């Protein structure tokens, strides 16, 4: 379910979004076990990092999605992961 750009969306076929990404990763961390067939190890972390950094703006804020708004409430989502 990880979007091709590295983040997670709210559902199948939806663009990746910071608000959907955070609970998706938390769910995989809690429910997914270790090993190649479990959720936690299936996250492409380097791709997700690239996606996060693609959303970062010159002033340090983050867009919530590729064409989304800048919203400083979502900085904690990026920094806590």
- Can you give the pLDDT at residue 75? 53
Summarize pLDDT for 44-75 with one digit per residue, the tens: 889 999 999 999 888 888 888 887 777 665 55
Summarize pLDDT for 18-53 with one digit per residue, the tens: 888 888 888 888 887 777 777 777 888 899 999 999
Element (H, E) at 8: none
Give domain limits for the chain: 18-80
- Cross-strand pairs, 2: 8
Q: What's 14's DSSP letter?
A: P
- Three-state secondary structure call for residue 51: helix
Two structure tokens written together for 11: 């559902």
Closest to 6 measured CA to CA, from 14, 16, 55: 16
pTM value? 0.75
Residues 6 or more apart in contact with residue 23 via CB below 8 angstroms: none
């Amino acid at each position: 379910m990880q979007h091709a750009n590295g983040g997670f969306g709210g559902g199948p076929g939806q663009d990746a979004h910071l608000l959907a990404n955070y609970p998706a990763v938390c769910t995989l961390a809690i429910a997914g076990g270790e090993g190649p067939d479990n959720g936690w190890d299936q996250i492409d972390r380097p791709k997700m990092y690239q996606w996060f950094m693609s959303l970062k703006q010159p002033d340090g804020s983050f867009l919530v999605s590729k064409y989304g708004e800048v919203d400083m409430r979502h900085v904690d989502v990026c920094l806590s992961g």
